[in-house]
Structures are given as C-alpha cells and as structure tokens.
Amino acid sequence: MPDHATAYRADHLWRIDGWQAQATFGVDARGRVTTTDAAGESLGAWVLPGMPNLHSHAFQRAMAGLAERKGPAEDSFWSWRETMYTFAAAIGPEAVQAIAAQLYVEMLKAGYTQVCEFHYLHHQPDGTPYAQPEAMSLALIEAAREAGIALTLLPVLYMSGGFDGRALGARQRRFGHTVESYLRLLETLHKHESDDLQVGMALHSLRAVPEAAMRQVLASDAAKSGPIHIHIAEQIGEVQDCLALRGARPVEWLFEHAAVDPRWCLVHATHLTGAETTQLARSGAVAGLCPTTEANLGDGIFPLAAYRDAGGALGIGSDSHISISPVEELRWLEYGQRLATRHRNVAARQPGDSVGESLWGAALRGGAQASGFAVGELREGARADLIVLDETSPLLATRDARSVLDSFLFAGNTPLVRHVMTSGRWQVRDFRHRDEERIAERYHRTVARLL
C-alpha cells in the first residue's frame, strides 16, 4: 500500500525520451503508476526512475576490501576467487540474510530500486543440502522484503569445475546441483513469486554447465518464461579454455548452441570480437556490465562504442559490491572507454548528445529488460520505483534539464539521492532508510562472527 498521497507532481520527471516539465502522476493501491491530473504532493525539481541492478552476489558485500593485498604469485580473478571461496564457506542462511539486507539498504540509498540476485550459494559448506533445500534462497527473499527492494532471484546451475568437465572442488560443492535437483528448486521458488519477486534462472558459466545439461534446462518448462542470465567471456583465460576444449570462443559457442534472445542477459561479455559484438547486439539480449568489479578484478574493458553503434542493449550491476553506486558504475563505464581510446564523451554517439542521459537511459532500459519487470520508466502500469535528487546540493546549483544528469554522474561524489520510493512506498527519506539502524547493527554482529 502506498504511503500518504497517491498523487504526485515533479518540476521535472524523467521519461523515456527525456525530461518532462511540470509532470503529474498517481500511484495505485498495488504501487503502480497511474495517470492523473491532480497536483498532489510535490516531489521537487528532479525525479527519476530508480535504477535496476542487474547483477549481484549479495554475500560478497561482507568481503569487499579483504582481497587487496598482493599475493606471492601474480594476482588475478583466479587468485581473488580463492579468497571468495574461503569466505563463502562460513556463511549460512542467517548470515546471508543479514548481509543481503544491509546490502539492499545500501543499494536503495544509492538509487537502485530493483536487484537481480545471481545466487549460487545453495547448500551447506560440505555440499549437503539444508533440511529445507531452498533455505538460502528464502533468506535472500526475506532480506529483500526487509529492505523494501524488488528482487529478481536467479538461482544458479553450477555442475562442473571447468570446461573439461572435472568434478566440483571441495569448496565448490555447496554451489552444485544436478539438473533434476535444480529444476525442483526452481519449481519450489516459483511458488513464492509476487508483484515484487520474480524467479528466473542462471547458468553460472559455460565452464560450469556441460552442454547436455544446458540443453536439458533450456528445454524445461522452467525456461519458458522469466529472464535467463549467464557469466560469459569475463576473463582471457576463460576464452582460451573454451577455444581449446570447445573449439569456439564463449559468446560464439553460446550463440551456436542456444537460442539467445531478449530474455537473456550476458554478464560481463568483456572479451568480444567484432563479429560477436554485432551478434550480441542484434540478438536483443542485454550485456550486463559491472565496471567497478571488472576493474577490481582486472578483467578488461567492454567494447562499448561498437556495441552502442550496433544498437546493443546494456545494463549495470554492482556484482561483488566493492562499490554500490549506479553513478560510479556508469562513470567508470565511460571513463574506461576514455582511457582505452583517449577520447571523451564516448557513450554519446551523436553530436550534441549527453553522456549522462545516454548512459542513464540505456541502463534503465537494459536493467528493466534483464529483471523481467515493468520498471525503469514511470509510465502507467509500471511499478512506482523512483528516486528524487537533492536539488539543494551545490553539485546541482544552476543546473537545468540539459545538464542535470551529466552533473549527477560526473560532478562529484556527494550523495545526491535524497528520497527513494519502491512499489509506491517510501523506503528512503532525507538520505535515511526507514530501518537502517536495526539492519546495520545486525550486519555488524554477523560480520564480527564470520571474521
């Protein structure tokens, strides 16, 4: 049920084609946007749809910053993964709920109003299922409810330790499923779906899902609706192994063996040839980009200009949560391109286009598509997920509709998201989440036990 007024007005409201001045809209009892001429409550100068976060591993929030000391060998994604495995081994349902709730509060305060949770921490540390096999998934669902963020839960199929089909290692066993147990999990979780919870599916990666298993899962009833996500082409080593053992690059192989369409989100897709870039763009699938994590892990840089020119859809995610800010993800998406090309304003492909508007609009559309929800645009029937910028901030002083989004993304690091609404309810007011003290205190206790 929406809080207080069900009609609102904004001096400027971001629509799909830019800012609308003196806009009004309503919110119905289900928290959906309606059309109204009533003036209602004033929200201020700058109102935007909330940003979908299309890629999250919630438990990794509590280890952010713990893998930044140089190791004895060359540090890479693979050495970082060893730290992650050690940390993951200590986490059970109670801990994952406490960590995820804290993370989701931080997401809301930053302007994310929807999260796609790529969830592979399924079982007990030795690989034995919990008495309730979906216990870890339910902990994430409850964390999202506590925080007030909408959730696309993506249970992950994880079966093998490499392209050669090797068995899962000891620290990977808690991730693993057979095809049959995985489909049972999906069937159970679909029963929990609601207006603010959708269950999709995720294939961890080509190296973790054998071809026969992928075919079986994609042919199942569970794959007939909802989003499908996969990690792909994140690391050069992954590309080389795929070439050696499957005779094709990861994205090339996937398109040859699966009907990739707009329901798919290819997470990272960092290392693409020109032909793969065009093929991904033309498929209508979303490239799920996580620039701060990709930079932190030394992954590489996505071919943004060529992908945008080909009409590709993209969204952003905070992934390992070394940063929880759509501003920073989009800023570093652009800055990575500037460093690689030694040119400015790369994301804006036509003269006069705004980089901020180009990136924010693209990430809203792609994030909504990857989440499977009607979000990312404040139109009739869509979920009323919005953020209100702090018009009193010096960073926005004298800014008008031509410059406010560029200033939001590129003018500094002062938080500018003042209020946040999800499903018609205020979750953040004047920079504070409605339950942040309790959730933060529990998070502190939990992390103290883990570490």
Please give, one letter per residue, the 3-state secondary structure of 294-363. Answer: HHHCCCCCCCHHHHHHCCCEEEECCECCCCCCHHHHHHHHHHHHHHHHCCCCCCCCCCCCCHHHHHHHHH
Strands 386-389 and 46-49, bridge-based pairing: antiparallel
- Quote the CA–CA distance of 230 and 148 in Å, as a whole number: 26
Write b or e for each residue in 237-255: b if 16 or more Cβ atoms lie within 10 A of its Cβ, otherwise e.
ebbebbeeebebbbbbbbb
Structural contact between residues 360 and 390, judged by C-beta atoms closer than 8 angstroms: no
Dihedral of the alpha carbons of 302, 304, 310, 313, in degrees to the nearest 10: 80
Concerning whether 268 is annotated as a catalytic residue, the answer is: yes
In Å, how far are 14, 320, 381, 391, 402 from 80, measured between CA atoms?
A: 39, 11, 43, 40, 42
Write b or e for each residue in 407-424: b if 16 or more Cβ atoms lie within 10 A of its Cβ, otherwise e.
bbbebeeebbbbbbbbbb
- Quote the CA–CA distance of 217 and 24 in Å, as a whole number: 45
DSSP element (H, E) containing 253: helix 250-257
In Å, how far are 33, 91, 119, 149, 204 from 178, measured between CA atoms?
A: 42, 22, 16, 31, 13
Structural contact between residues 130 and 140, judged by C-beta atoms closer than 8 angstroms: no
Write b or e for each residue in 297-329: b if 16 or more Cβ atoms lie within 10 A of its Cβ, otherwise e.
bebbbbbbbebbeeebbbbbbbbbbbbbbbbbb
| DSSP tag of 247 | S
Q: The tokens of 25 are what?
A: 């809209």
Residue whose tokens read 């992934």: 319
Choose, from 12, 119, 122, 319, the residue flagged as catalytic. 319
Structural contact between residues 103 and 62, judged by C-beta atoms closer than 8 angstroms: no
- Quote the CA–CA distance of 121 and 175 in Å, as a whole number: 5
Structural contact between residues 372 and 227, judged by C-beta atoms closer than 8 angstroms: yes
Choose, from 119, 268, 271, 433, the residue flagged as catalytic. 268
Active site residue ranges: 268, 319
